[in-house]
Amino acid sequence: MRGKFITLEGIDGAGKSTHLTWLAGFFRERGFTVCVTREPGGTGLGEKLRRILLDPENSMHAETEAMLMFAARREHLDKVIEPALARGEWVMCDRFTDATFAYQGGGRGVDWQRLSQLEQWAQRGLQPELTLLFDLAPEIGRQRARGARSADRFEQEQDDFYRRVRAGYLQRAQEAPARVRVIDAGQSVGQIQQQLRDIAGALCR
Ligand code: TYD
């Protein structure tokens, strides 16, 4: 049986990595083989593209950025995501195409229609079974995100950029209400886990 494809989204600092780890454990405990991966990245070439994309030394046209995201994604689908789904594994991906609509579309202003064309090209009809969107005000995300490491090219952006990213994410959620579940990331971890337990439990049945 083909596996399920689940993606996690949200602005930096929304806590998706914490919840991804918890959810992967939830599914493993129920006997599923879980493949955890991320974007941009997930393959040898994809991780090289990630370094280029996140390096504050590189400046590039917003459409170049969008195309590099999709180039990494095409490779990721071909080498990791599709084969894992075909083996029956559950693929949990830390960010996917909604991030491109949110960051490059909402944040940088790349035309939504162009992104839809690239989406169609890279994915054919493939869409995640479920997308969890951890929604949070940028001011709160910023406070949470900053650890010891220095800011990457996206983290250097201001709250204004992140407000547009957030709006882009919410627009995607509105366009695909059956796929995208919006979770209020301002809640406590316990409250969020309770919500995730319900959503993930329904997926296991
Ligand atoms: P992420 O892996 O969440 O970074 P970190 O592990 O440092 O929290 O994502 C890296 C950055 O890439 C993030 O700021 C969002 C950005 N991004 C895009 O702009 N477009 C995309 O399509 C994807 C997948 C990520």
CA–centroid distance, residue 28 to ligand 1 (Å): 25
Residue 162 has a pLDDT of 96
Residue 148 has a pLDDT of 58
Predicted model pTM: 0.96
Residue 143 has a pLDDT of 85
CA–centroid distance, residue 193 to ligand 1 (Å): 23
Residue 150 has a pLDDT of 85
In the chain (205 residues long), the average pLDDT of successive 10-residue segments reads 97 93 98 98 98 98 98 98 98 98 98 98 97 96 78 92 98 98 97 97 93
Q: Which of 103, 131, 133, 161 is the best mutation target for the ligand 1 pocket, counting ligand atoms within 8 Å of the beta carbon and taking the most?
A: 103
Whether residue 138 has a cis bond before it, omega within 30° of 0? no
